[in-house]
């Protein structure tokens, strides 16, 4: 008796499962989902930047300079967000 037949069968099944997992990993997100994800990343950073600028303007009384500056900083942050998540998707 060399080997338990159940064990060999289990090993074969396990190998099949891990192989299938590798194949599934490549694309398990739909295109609509990824497109939507990227757009919200961009928009939300711009929104946060603008809100921060607005609040700082209100506290320091420097209307409208800080809101302008932070709007563009928000745009930069949004673009960085998009690049980062796009890189993560490519992995």
Closest CB 27 distance from another protein, rounded Å? 13
Task: For another protein, give the closer residue by CB, 45 or 67.
Answer: 45
**Which residues make up the interface to another protein (CB under 8 A)?**
30, 32-33, 36-37, 40-41, 43-45, 47-49, 52, 70, 73-74, 76-78, 80-81, 88
Task: For another protein, give the closer residue by CB, 40 or 54.
Answer: 40
Closest CB 70 distance from another protein, rounded Å? 8
Sign of the dihedral through C-alpha 70, 72, 76, 81: positive
Closest-CA residue to 89 (of 40, 34, 21, 39): 34
Task: For another protein, give the closer residue by CB, 3 or 31.
Answer: 31
Crossing angle for the helix pair 65-90 and 31-60, to the nearest 10 degrees:
160
Closest-CA residue to 55 (of 72, 70, 75): 70
Closest CB 1 distance from another protein, rounded Å? 26
Q: How many CA atoms lie within 13 A of 37 on its CB side?
A: 14
């Amino acid at each position: 008796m060399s080997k338990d037949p159940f064990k060999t069968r289990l090993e074969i099944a396990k190998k099949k499962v891990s192989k299938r997992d590798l194949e599934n990993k490549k694309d398990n997100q739909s295109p609509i989902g990824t497109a939507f994800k990227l757009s919200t990343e961009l928009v939300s950073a711009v929104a946060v930047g603008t809100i921060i600028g607005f609040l700082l303007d209100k506290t320091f009384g420097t209307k409208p300079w800080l809101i302008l500056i932070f709007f563009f900083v928000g745009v930069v942050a949004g673009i960085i967000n998009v690049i980062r998540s796009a890189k993560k998707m490519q992995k």
